[in-house]
Amino acid sequence: MSLGGSRPAIERADRRGAVALAHRYSPADLSVFDEEETRRFLGQGLDDPRRSAALVWELLYRLEPSLYDRLIQAEPLHPGILAWLPAAPCRVVEVGAGTGRLTVPLAGRCDEMIAVEPARPLARVLKANLAAAGRRGRVAIVRGFFDQLPVPDGWADLVVACSAMARDPAHGGDAGLAEMERCCTPGGRVVIVWPVHRRWLASRGYTYRCFDGDMAMEFPSLDDAVELAEIFYPEAVTEIRRRGRAQVPYELLGRTAPRDVAYKDVPRFDKGT
């Protein structure tokens, strides 16, 4: 998660987007953080969003959650990921749920779900998106961070994070993985969707899988594609206009597509112990 929060792992080209966003925010905007967020996000030189990609994303989540949601709506996951995830888990925990890119489809296939989201403005958009999809009744939206998940031990059959977990302790790290595994019932599965640091995850017992096929960001219109690219990917605007299409290949943006997962099955208890 980002500085104890969640979402775009800045090791990806999200850092490029953060550079483009940096002019939108100033140190004065840091007042949006509450006491807990200030403790987690600020200090150790991280006091100016113009010099910190992580702070830029955190401010976007809190100051412009609808803008973030528009970006996410244009980044649907590879259909193979949704087909591969369990078809009917009883209980699901999603960490760093954001505005619901994965929450909404998962809520339609489980009995109960806990969506953990640290940024309150994103949680409000998530609530609205779930209501619009008719899924609100199945999902409890709670505030929490990777290293302190407000979920009972072994509660879920599936524990998942989408574009949220990274090796850096500030983005989850070993403590975050341990918390996700703590929340998973024996015999259940922990899944990192759109992972970074695959070797780190492999060293922690996670298996990698990638789904093939062409993928592109899917904007509602060319105007939307240009408008959002001007904010997040200004270097691609000229080419997007030249192509004249609302579908923008990830390669054009210098990004990897959301087509892969890393997963770990939590062992069942040994009956002999």
**Is residue 56 domain-resident?**
yes
The whole-angstrom separation of Cα 140 and Cα 244 is 41
| pLDDT given at position 107 | 96
Domains contained in the chain, number: 2
**Is residue 96 domain-resident?**
no
The whole-angstrom separation of Cα 142 and Cα 213 is 35
**Is residue 240 domain-resident?**
yes
CA 107 to chain CA mean position, Å: 16
Question: Around 232, how many Cα atoms within 13 Å sit in the side-chain half-sphere?
Answer: 26
| pLDDT given at position 85 | 97
| pLDDT given at position 138 | 86
Q: Is 14 helix (H, G, I), strand (E, B) or coil?
A: helix
**Is residue 36 domain-resident?**
yes
**Is residue 92 domain-resident?**
no
**Is residue 117 domain-resident?**
no
Spans in the chain with pLDDT lower than 50: 1-13, 272-273
- Long-range contact pairs involving 140-143 (C-beta distance under 8 Å, separation at least 24): 140/112, 140/113, 140/114, 140/115, 141/97, 141/115, 141/117, 142/114, 142/115, 142/116, 142/117, 143/116, 143/117, 143/118
**Is residue 229 domain-resident?**
yes
**Is residue 21 domain-resident?**
yes
| pLDDT given at position 273 | 44
Range of 243's domain?
A: 216-253
| pLDDT given at position 19 | 65
